[in-house]
Amino acid sequence: MKRQRRSLIVVALVLMAAPLLYAVLSFAARPAPRPLWLEPPAPNTSCILPTAVIRYDHMQHLKNLRDQVMREGRREELTGARAQGLTSCRGCHAHRERFCDRCHERASVRLDCFGCHVY
């Protein structure tokens, strides 16, 4: 009689615990979605320079371009199909705050460019 009662209690406890156990296991099994850190560029495009070059040298590239435009008055690279320029990036990297800014913040880089240039 005593034994029977004990096993009834055990069965009841297992039944009560089952939903919790199920929830824990299914939560653990589901891979957490990882949001992309940098907004992907417009599909089927390529950057104005090869990826490895633009990744590490875009600052120098933009400053060279600025000198070319401001000091030498050469503006030919600002127009046309492969137009460059500080705000041309927008064509493929649509949101500055989800691309440029995100990386600069992580690297503790502070730019003053966007006080004048609209992006």
Positions touching ligand HEC (CB under 6 A) are: 38, 41-42, 45-48, 51, 54-55, 58-59, 62-63, 65-66, 69-70, 78, 84-89, 91-93, 99-100, 103-104, 107, 109, 111-113, 115-117
We find the least distance from the C-beta atom of residue 34 to ligand HEC, in angstroms, to be: 15
Neighbours of 69 (CB within 10 A): 17
Contact predicate 86/112, CB 8 Å = no
We find the least distance from the C-beta atom of residue 72 to ligand HEC, in angstroms, to be: 11
Residues 6+ apart with CB under 8 A from 119: 86, 87, 89, 90, 96, 100
We find the least distance from the C-beta atom of residue 31 to ligand HEC, in angstroms, to be: 23
